[in-house]
Amino acid sequence: MRDVAPAPTRRRALPRNDPRQYDDLAGEWWRPDGVFAMLHWLAEARAALVPPADRPGALLVDLGCGAGLLAPHLAGRGYRHVGVDLTRSALAQAAAHGVSPVNGDATAVPLADGCADVVAAGELLEHVPDWRRVVAEACRLLRPGGLLVLDTLNDTLLSRIVAVHLGERLPTVPKGIHDPRLFVDDRELVSECARHGVALRVRGVRPEVGGLLGWLLRRARGAAAPAGRAPRIVPTRSAAVLYQGWGVRKG
């Protein structure tokens, strides 16, 4: 495994959702107590939706893979893990964790139709001005019978309050990383996936409250405190804030 040591975090003032933020935060990706901590928890929950590969050489395409946080949770499941991302500094770290990197835009992916057994799009759609094009690409990449798994933020007032106004005050969400105008209505997402042959099911998810409070407390006590168990992401009744989606492409 290559040693990729990003520079210490130094942030410029950038517009909301500006992708250059990921370069400024490059040193945060793999810190379990860093500002991307929640992405680690979500990656584990996303991976739980991915069954072991059912054929040798199966391919999982991870759109907007970031630094490859999904990779450790897929270990032993039999996939070749290809990651597509705009941000080179993140891709270099993904490669160091066993992901085959593709520097590109998830709205125009340089991979063949039907090449993927699984397409993952974790915490990506809410960052892309045209999420419908990402959905079209994800479904184009899937082979018939292939699986789409994703998670994103819903386009609701509650989501703006929780994910932006409250979330960005917590140490688990980088300030300014989200532009709430890009949040994705779950019903529109389901109908867009259906248009492209994927029957998407959605369910709301959230960090378990006790685990989150314990984690925040340990974090507030400082680096000397024991890291402890990361909060689990659990299903919740409402999909009004954060939700997962999964569905198979028609044969």
Ligand X SMILES: C[S@@+](CC[C@H](N)C(=O)[O-])C[C@H]1O[C@@H](n2cnc3c(N)ncnc32)[C@H](O)[C@@H]1O
Nearer CB in complex with ligand X: 99/144:
99
CB-CB contact of 78 with 49 (8 Å) = no
Binding site for ligand X (CB under 6 A): 19, 22, 39, 42-43, 64-66, 69, 84-87, 90, 105-107, 122-124, 127-128
Closest CB to ligand X: residue number = 66
State in angstroms the smallest separation of the CB of 130 from ligand X: 9
Nearest Cα to 121, choosing from 111, 106, 108, 142?
106
State in angstroms the smallest separation of the CB of 104 from ligand X: 7
**Those residues with Cβ within 8 angstroms of residue 122's Cβ, 6 or more apart along the chain or in another chain:** 39, 42, 43, 46, 62, 64, 70, 149, 150, 151
CB-CB contact of 134 with 107 (8 Å) = yes
Nearer CB in complex with ligand X: 129/145:
129
State in angstroms the smallest separation of the CB of 97 from ligand X: 11
Nearer CB in complex with ligand X: 36/215:
36
163, two tokens: 């994910």
| Token pair 């939700």 in the structure block, residue | 243
State in angstroms the smallest separation of the CB of 128 from ligand X: 5
Nearer CB in complex with ligand X: 144/207:
207
| Token pair 């892309």 in the structure block, residue | 128
